[in-house]
Structure 1
Amino acid sequence: MASQAARLQRFKAAMEKVYGSFESAAEWRVPPLPGNAGHRGRYLWTDAFGVVNFVTLRYATGEGRYLEAAKRLVQTVHDVLGRTRDGSSRLPGASDMEPLKGGLRIGKVDETGPDGDGQYHHYLTLWMFALSRLAEASEEVRYNDLAIQLAQAIHPRLVVEKSGNGELSMVWKISTDMSRPLSRSKGHLDDVTGYVVFERLDSAAHRLGRGDDQPLLAEKEQYWDMMTRSSPLQSSTDMLDLGMSLWVAQFHSRRGNEPLQELGTDGINTAREIFVERKGPGSILLRSAGRRLAFRELGACLGIKCYSHDADLVASADMLAEFWGNHGEESTTPDDLMAITQVMLAAALIPGDGRRLEDS
């Protein structure tokens, strides 16, 4: 198994494939994502992991220049994805003083169609999480304030009354201007992730000196109602979905939150079946790299390493992450997924500070 120093070296190499040589913060400028990975060079999911990974580098090395890189990346994302596709104006509802009041585009290359641009709940909450992590690492509350601004802007557009009896549900995708839904249902984990991330934003606001108020209390109560309406919560055998189930479950695993404990337990049982118990020809570790998508499997590795203390399971996740570090070029991953694969590889190698604040 690779040493922590070797993992850190590979972590940096993966990030450099996406963001170029960033070791000199004074000279580094955020490059467009490689491989046509996003509209006008930006893609929200990839850059959210980019920000979190820069924060991880700060904690791993103690060097503040990585926070400067994270801040530049945040500004670049807001300047591109917080504006209309032609770049001529901010999204409706936003201003220079409140740049996220109009939400954020996710950066799909196509403007319309089944894989067209829009605002996706699971991308937006990941970006909020990244902003909050940067706020706490830098002790600059304005980044958490921006995350709360984004949360308050998008929540009433994505949480809707669907049944006519006052019962709330969600849509997972809305138009770039937030004027209409582009889906009929919520994503598997949207309500759960919304609750956890909004709780993190409120907690960070308190730790960073914004007082005891919970600006997102009403929104959290709506998410809680939706996520507890049907129980128990279950994960998925889809590798990325499994990983994100475990990633989100980690944040309340020590606080007696029964629904999230159920989600985590189900996720670990599913992960053990996939990673540890299937040792024959059906094992994922024995399949040809050319038949798989690396970034989805790396999501599972990330979730396992964030949530689990099971030595066999964590070792299997480490083996898979290292496999993709060595064999990524053999994957069927197309060029436009190269960037997301590399940031997910870095996160799977060293998940970062996900548990740090739970212990505080």
Structure 2
Amino acid sequence: MLRHTTRVASRIIMTSSAAKTLRFKEAMRIVYGPFNQLSPEEASAWVPPDNPGAGGHRGRYLWTDAFGVVNFITLSQEEKISSPNNIYLTLARRLVGKVHDVLGRTRDGSARLFRATDAEPLAGGLRIGKVDADGPDGDGQYHHYLTLWMFALNRLAIAAGDYEYNRLAVQLAKAIHPHFVVRDGQRGGVRMYWKMSTDLKTVLVPREGHLDAATGYVVYKLLQRTAKQFSEEETLDAEIADYRSIMDSGDKLRPSGDALDLGMCLWMCHFFRDEEEWARELGNQSLAVARVVLSGFMARSASHRLAFREFGACMGLKVYGVDDELAARVDAIVDFWQKYLEKSADEDLRPISLVMYAAALIPGAFQDGYLKT
């Protein structure tokens, strides 16, 4: 009887896992087209679509495509046995190339961004990919989008065993740092800007992002750790020290009640919670806040909620690790949104919602230790 029960439980788990993978791939298919049946040769010539695409300018949006790259890497691991040629890593590489070609250039595509060259294509940063060139929601560069892209490049370097992607991430890290992180002549120390112009010459939003310094600290440390694993000598010590200085000034490290900020905070903290006290304390505080925040989600209708922000919370909670009670709430939120995603009334938010839905289903390569070096 026990043996039969064990076999049944195993089948249920396998079925649940297979169902998640199917939903994961379907979400990615809606954004990036029918990629799953491509041959290795077709994958090597694949062009990421701009319609539907990731949304944004010319079909590219940096945050969405960063999730897209990491999600393809997750698929490369989840289906390694059934996909010996691993087309998903090829698709991740192709998506990276397209993003650099579109968002690493001016909006008309005629030139690389200011300071970038063929030898250093990311020395000018990367555009957000906003539809409008100017205005309050116009194009420019966000620090938190750029660090997420660095993370995606870092994961691809590890998954593909190709250090060039981490080198590009380090190049981007060094290029943007002196524009977003500046010396404060009046107060002393350093401070940050949240948004810069496309050419990195003009401050568009002078305030600091709530978690920008801590995220920069974590991602830059991951880049440096990977450099050492590949026996490279690149260093980001000075930049990491700047971020740590900002983190230690004032009341910067506190949990947020915003679902997306909460999730990304938990994601960020999980990398160093066993090594650094600040990450452990902030992570545990955020976990306590999550218990309150998640309880309010299901009481509201879909029209008064933003799916992608809730998926950010769900992904962060999954990688950080939760008890059965929170895990059940996370699953309920993800399941709730499934029926709304493909037919969402807000077409602009559909791509970002779908890629983050996939990551909430299977965080995969977002999780430390998932990829082996």
> Structure 2 length as normaliser, TM-score?
0.90
Match for residue 29 of structure 1? 47
Q: In structure 2, do the counterparts of structure 1 residues 232 and 114 end up closer, same or farther at CA, with 3 Å as the change threshold? A: closer
Match for residue 231 of structure 2? 209
Shift of the alpha carbon at 1:154?
Answer: 0.1
SS in 2 for 1:116: coil
Asked if residue 344 in structure 1 is aligned to residue 356 in structure 2, the reply is yes
- Of the structure 1 ranges 75-84 and 61-70, higher mean CA displacement relative to structure 2 is found in 61-70
- Of the structure 1 ranges 150-159 and 311-320, higher mean CA displacement relative to structure 2 is found in 311-320
Choose which of 136, 155, 166 in structure 2 pairs with 1:114. 136
Larger radius of gyration between Structure 1 and Structure 2:
2
Match for residue 293 of structure 1? 306
C-alpha distance in structure 2 between counterparts of 1:329 and 1:52, whole Å: 21
C-alpha distance in structure 2 between counterparts of 1:359 and 1:72, whole Å: 22
Match for residue 199 of structure 1? 221
SS in 2 for 1:41: coil
SS in 1 for 2:203: coil
- Of the structure 1 ranges 24-33 and 12-21, higher mean CA displacement relative to structure 2 is found in 24-33
> Structure 1 length as normaliser, TM-score?
0.93
C-alpha distance in structure 2 between counterparts of 1:119 and 1:207, whole Å: 30
C-alpha distance in structure 2 between counterparts of 1:258 and 1:165, whole Å: 27
Q: How does 1:145-164 map to 2 (within 5 A)?
A: 145-164=167-186
Shift of the alpha carbon at 1:163?
Answer: 4.2
Asked if residue 328 in structure 1 is aligned to residue 336 in structure 2, the reply is no
Asked if the contact 2:192–2:208 (Cα under 8 Å) also holds between the matched residues in 1, the reply is: yes
Q: List gaps (5 residues or longer) in structure 2.
A: 1-12
Q: How does 1:103-142 map to 2 (within 5 A)?
A: 103-142=125-164
Q: Structure 1: which amino acid aligns with 2:349? A: L
Q: How does 1:1-360 map to 2 (within 5 A)?
A: 3-23=16-36, 24=38, 25-27=40-42, 28-34=46-52, 37-62=55-80, 63=83, 64-210=86-232, 213=233, 215-231=235-251, 233-255=253-275, 257-275=276-294, 278=295, 283-328=296-341, 334-353=346-365, 354-356=367-369
Q: Give per-residue Cα distances to partners, 1:248-307, cap 9 Å, x unaligned.
A: 11111121x1111121011100111223xx4xxxx3123222221111111110111010
C-alpha distance in structure 2 between counterparts of 1:40 and 1:232, whole Å: 36
- Of the structure 1 ranges 308-317 and 49-58, higher mean CA displacement relative to structure 2 is found in 308-317
C-alpha distance in structure 2 between counterparts of 1:156 and 1:221, whole Å: 13
Q: In structure 2, do the counterparts of structure 1 residues 215 and 36 end up closer, same or farther at CA, with 3 Å as the change threshold? A: closer
The percent of aligned pairs where both chains have the same amino acid is 52
Shift of the alpha carbon at 1:229?
Answer: 1.8
Asked if the contact 1:128–1:197 (Cα under 8 Å) also holds between the matched residues in 2, the reply is: yes
Asked if the contact 1:121–1:173 (Cα under 8 Å) also holds between the matched residues in 2, the reply is: yes
C-alpha distance in structure 2 between counterparts of 1:329 and 1:97, whole Å: 40
Asked if the contact 1:306–1:351 (Cα under 8 Å) also holds between the matched residues in 2, the reply is: yes
Shift of the alpha carbon at 1:84?
Answer: 0.5
Q: Structure 1: which amino acid aligns with 2:331? A: D
SS in 2 for 1:356: coil
C-alpha distance in structure 1 between counterparts of 2:50 and 2:298, whole Å: 33
SS in 1 for 2:348: helix
Q: Structure 2: which amino acid aligns with 1:196? A: V
- Of the structure 1 ranges 122-131 and 172-181, higher mean CA displacement relative to structure 2 is found in 172-181
Q: In structure 2, do the counterparts of structure 1 residues 311 and 205 end up closer, same or farther at CA, with 3 Å as the change threshold? A: same
Asked if the contact 1:103–1:119 (Cα under 8 Å) also holds between the matched residues in 2, the reply is: yes
SS in 1 for 2:137: coil
SS in 2 for 1:229: coil
Q: List gaps (5 residues or longer) in structure 1.
A: none
Q: In structure 2, do the counterparts of structure 1 residues 150 and 272 end up closer, same or farther at CA, with 3 Å as the change threshold? A: same
Q: Give per-residue Cα distances to partners, 1:161-184, cap 9 Å, x unaligned.
A: 234243100001111011111111
- Of the structure 1 ranges 115-124 and 302-311, higher mean CA displacement relative to structure 2 is found in 302-311
SS in 2 for 1:107: coil
Asked if the contact 1:289–1:330 (Cα under 8 Å) also holds between the matched residues in 2, the reply is: no
- Of the structure 1 ranges 156-165 and 59-68, higher mean CA displacement relative to structure 2 is found in 156-165
